[in-house]
Amino acid sequence: MLRSAYFLTVLVFIALFSGNCTQDKPAAAASSDGPKVDTAALQEFRQNNWKNHGCDLITEPEIVRIFNIDPKALSLNSRSLPDQAFCLHTWNRPDWIEREANNEKNGNTFLPTRNSLVVQVFSYGTGTHSSQQFETLKRDRRDTYEETVSGLGEDALWGTTTVTLLVKKGEMVLSITLDAMDNPHDNLPKAKEIAQLALQKL
């Protein structure tokens, strides 16, 4: 039921926001051969929750490397939301043609033809508030986030029904929603790999 609601949300998002994600880099992320990092700008950038830079948390080249895909052949696309720290990446599954043929036959089990990755960052103002949020999830939402994940950030929770990994780092909470495997729990290893990469940028 929860996965169905998630898919509906993604479909609505695709319909409303079909433009490409802007890949503008933050002013603070200077190149190694450029000027020194502007610490004040970097602090402001982080405080603003990566707004309008959600697709910089995990870029298309990083998706290509992590999933070992041909972005053109599988129609990799990335879309952001204005004034949000949000990015939706979608791409075809390698056997999407066979899956579409299967889905057209009456009585066959529906097979997803697209992969999706939603990356978001939320700020709770202070580390204390983000810790309180995690404790609330552990107390009241264990039916959704049933698994504690070790070795990521300061705390991490995984929800199989929503294919979502939440990771706490300071006042920030990173949300990774990955649907790329037919077995929902099989998304966790790649979600962890994505989170480890994104955490280096927070």
Q: Which H helix or E strand runs over 176?
A: strand 172-179
pLDDT of 70 over the 50 cut: yes
pLDDT tier at 108 (50, 70, 90 boundaries)? confident
Mean pLDDT, range 35-58, rounded to an integer:
66
Q: Which of 5-14, 99-108, 143-152, 158-167 has the lowest mean pLDDT?
A: 5-14
pTM equals 0.77
- Helix residue ranges per DSSP H, 52-177: 54-57, 60-67, 96-103, 127-140
Strand order in the sheet with 155-159: 77-80, 86-92, 114-123, 172-179, 164-169, 155-159, 147-148
Residue 90, pLDDT above cutoff 50 = yes
The confidence score (pLDDT) of residue 202 equals 86
Which amino acid does the sequence have at 43?
Q
Alpha helices in 48-151 (DSSP H): 54-57, 60-67, 96-103, 127-140
Report residue 39's pLDDT band, with 50, 70 and 90 as the boundaries: low
The Cα–Cα gap between 75 and 67 comes to 14
Domain extent listing, the chain:
2-122+180-199
User: Is the model's pLDDT at 189 over the cut of 70?
Assistant: yes
34: helix, coil or strand?
coil
